[in-house]
Amino acid sequence: MLVAGISLKGDRSGRWELADTMSELVQLVHSAGGEVVEEVTQSVDRPTSVYMGHGKIAELKEIGEKVGYTVAVFNDELTPAQQRNLERELEVKVLDRSALILDIFADRARTKEGVLQVDLAQSVYLLPRLSGQWSHLERLGGGIGTRGPGESQLETDRRLARGRISKLKRELADVIAHRSRHRSRRETSRVPVVSLVGYTNAGKSTLFNTLVKAGVEAESKPFTTLDPITRQMYMPDGTRALLTDTVGFIHKLPHALVAAFRATLEELSEADLLLHVVDISHRNASDHIQVVEDTLKQLKMLDKPRLLVLNKMDLAMSDEESSAPDLSALGESAEGGVMISAEKGWGVELLQTAILERLHEITSSESTSEQGVHFVG
Domain positions in the chain = 2-106, 109-168, 190-365
How far CA 77 is from CA of 4, 137, 353, in Å, comes to 12, 26, 43
Which residues sit opposite 275 in a β-bridge?
A: 196, 307
- Tell me the Cα Rg of the chain: 24
CATH fold for domain 2-106: Rossmann fold (3.40.50)
Q: What are the backbone dihedrals phi and psi of residue 315, each rounded to the nearest 5 degrees, phi first?
A: -80, -25
Query: How long is the chain?
Result: 377
Which residues lie closer than 8 Å to 15 by C-beta, 6 or more apart? 286, 287, 290
Give the model's pLDDT for residue 148: 45
How far CA 47 is from CA of 7, 19, 41, in Å, comes to 9, 18, 13
SS3 281: coil
* pTM for this model (two decimals): 0.80
Phi and psi based region of residue 291 (left: phi greater than 0; alpha: psi -120 to 50; beta: remaining): alpha
Separation of alpha carbons 224 and 68, rounded Å: 30
Closest to 52 in 3D by CA, of 89, 26, 22, 16: 89
Closest to 30 in 3D by CA, of 177, 194, 222, 181: 222
Give the model's pLDDT for residue 186: 57
Separation of alpha carbons 138 and 124, rounded Å: 24
Query: What is the DSSP secondary structure assignment for residue 1, as one 8-state letter?
Result: -
The answer to whether 99 touches 29, Cβ cutoff 8 Å, is no
Give the model's pLDDT for residue 142: 44
SS3 23: helix
Q: What are the backbone dihedrals phi and psi of residue 51, each rounded to the nearest 5 degrees, phi first?
A: 75, -55
The answer to whether 233 touches 213, Cβ cutoff 8 Å, is no
Give the model's pLDDT for residue 151: 53
118 CB burial (10 A radius; 0-12, 13-18, 19+): buried
CATH class in words for 190-365: alpha beta
Q: Rounded to 5 degrees, what angle do the CA atoms 112, 113, 114 make? A: 95
- In the chain (377 residues long), the average pLDDT of successive 10-residue segments reads 92 77 93 93 95 96 94 95 95 94 85 85 87 43 43 75 91 80 62 92 92 71 71 91 88 78 72 94 90 87 92 77 60 78 94 94 68 50
The answer to whether 72 touches 90, Cβ cutoff 8 Å, is yes
| Secondary structure (DSSP) of 243-266 | EEE-PPB-TT--HHHHHHTHHHHG
CB half-sphere exposure, 179, CA atoms < 13 A:
20
